[in-house]
Amino acid sequence: MMNTIEQIINRIKRLEQFVVRVSVPEGFAFSGAVPFDIEIAGSTAMVTVWAASEAEAQRRAKEFFNDTNS
Predicted confidence (pLDDT) at residue 1 exceeds the cutoff of 70: no
Q: In the chain, where does DSSP find H-type helix? A: 5-14, 54-69
pTM of model > 0.85: no
47, β-bridge pairs = 20, 38
Interval 9-20: pLDDT, tens: 999 999 999 999
| Sequence-separated (6 or more) residues with CB below 8 Å from residue 64 | 34, 35, 36, 47
Residues with Cβ within 8 Å of residue 11, at least 6 apart in sequence: 3, 52
Q: Note the pLDDT tens digit of each residue in 3-61.
A: 799 999 999 999 999 999 999 998 888 888 899 999 999 999 999 999 999 999 999 99
Task: State the pLDDT at residue 69.
Answer: 63
Domain residue ranges of the chain, discontinuous segments joined by +: 12-69
